Amino acid sequence: MALKPLEVIPPLTRDELYATYGDFTSISRNITSNNNVTVGQLIDFTSSGVPYGFRFRTRSISFYCSFGCRILGYISQSYAAGETSKLIDRPELTIPNGGGTITIPWALSVEFLEGGMLNPRIVSNEAVTGGYSFRMNVMGEIISSDMDTDADMVAEIWGDSITWTAGGDEGGLTIPNLGDKHYFARICEQLKKDGLSIWRSNKGFGGATAKQVVTAIRSGYYGRTKSQWSRLKLLVIGVGTNDALTGNATSTNYSANLKFILDYVFRNAPGVAVLLMGQTPTDTASRIPNLPSYRTVMQSMLTDPDYTGKEIRYVDTTVGFDVITANFTETVAGERLHPRWDTGGLIMYNQAYPVVQQFSFYIYNT
């Protein structure tokens, strides 16, 4: 059966982005609150984001807080994507009691990719009555996020935070600095060891649902040149965990969105190998009811007549993945969701890599 035509909304040009969003020389956030603060209170502040298809390279980041606090880092939220999930490469920075300003130079800053949102997470070191103020200013430049590589092959990953997050700071910053353990990073590293000239590309974003990936497709977030599409040999797709957060995304809707994604992929890269990563197990009650039906939908894509002749494989991530604290960043039963990349991520790699080795691009090039 022929693939259905898709309406693709062209992405904004750089000039159009500037006209719409400004010159992006800085991203600022000012907050004034009349609330009191207790010692040890955790407060998250949200900044502005960056539109699809572009990223913001920081030159410096400054924070002002009117009370003494520890800055723990940032949370990549809502359409954030990237391989660096910490704002700083140390556990914390401190503003002394009474308040003050601290500046983080470019060497310790990061890039906010495709809609990335800077969320400083601070913990109060002193009690405050009568209110407080907080200011943040991020200096930087807008840059393109095109796939820029001369490698013969590209492996890419799309999906939600469990799929894309290459740092280990999910789950309340409890498990730091595990980015090099991410299962997709392990896959690409092993492909290189097996002799493939391959480039790792990360196009996931935190909080993504299948519907939001469809929206991102329409926005041009996944757009690229014909020659770039031709080099895409492996695409890992992992969506569903966030869809399962509520009962609104029925299995029918999930299936329709997943098929939209696959239609778009195969229209642009007919010979790409697609690896569907099933949703990892969890004990968060809000997600459990819907996940089995999503896994069934994913598996059904392998035999869908619309994709006859296409290379699609599925990984059942529930096999051998025990819902125990050692496999997750969260340490409280009932909240375990994000895999630790040195344990849960290793399980995912061991599940996925033998499946990757069955794709023709691997067989013909090793």
**What does pTM read for this prediction?**
0.65
Q: What is the pLDDT of residue 80?
A: 35
Q: Residue 272 — very low, low, confident or very high, per pLDDT cuts 50/70/90?
A: very high
CATH superfamily of 153-363: SGNH hydrolase (3.40.50.1110)
| Predicted local distance difference test score (pLDDT) of residue 242 | 85
Alpha-carbon distances, residue 127 vs 10, 38, 99, 173 (angstroms): 51, 5, 12, 23
Work out the pLDDT band at 181, boundaries 50, 70, 90: low
pLDDT at position 105 is 57
Most confident of 127-131, 201-205, 239-243: 127-131
Locate the domains of the chain by residue range. 14-144, 153-363
- Read off the pLDDT of each residue in 321-336 and give the average, rounded to a whole number: 88
Instruction: Classify 115 in phi/psi space as left (phi over 0), alpha (psi -120 to 50) or beta.
Output: left
Position 48 scores a pLDDT of 53
With 60 as the cut, is the pLDDT of residue 18 above it?
Answer: no
Mean predicted confidence (pLDDT) in 173-198 = 72
- Provide the Cα torsion 308, 216, 121, 323; round to 10°: -20
Which residues have a Cβ under 8 Å from the Cβ of 305 and sit 6 or more positions away?
1
Residues 80-105: tens digit of each pLDDT: 333 334 343 344 678 999 999 987 65
Rounded to whole angstroms, what are the CA distances from 321 to 70, 176, 225, 292, 344?
A: 35, 21, 38, 15, 7
From residue 80, alpha-carbon distances to 111, 138, 348 in Å are 10, 16, 22
| In the predicted structure, residue 248 carries a pLDDT above the cut 80 | no
Q: List the one residue out of 353, 213, 344, 351 whose CA is nearest residue 281.
A: 344
Q: Is the pLDDT of residue 346 over 80?
A: yes
* Predicted pLDDT of residue 295: 95
How many residues are recorded in the chain?
366
Confidence tier at 249 by pLDDT (50, 70, 90): confident
Fold (CATH) for 14-144: Jelly Rolls (2.60.120)
- The pLDDT confidence band at residue 117, using thresholds 50, 70 and 90, is low
Helix pair angle (251-268, 291-300), 10° resolution: 40
Question: Please, are residues 185 and 201 in contact by the beta-carbon 8 Å criterion?
Answer: no
In terms of DSSP bridges, do strands 232-238 and 273-277 run parallel, antiparallel, or are they unpaired? parallel
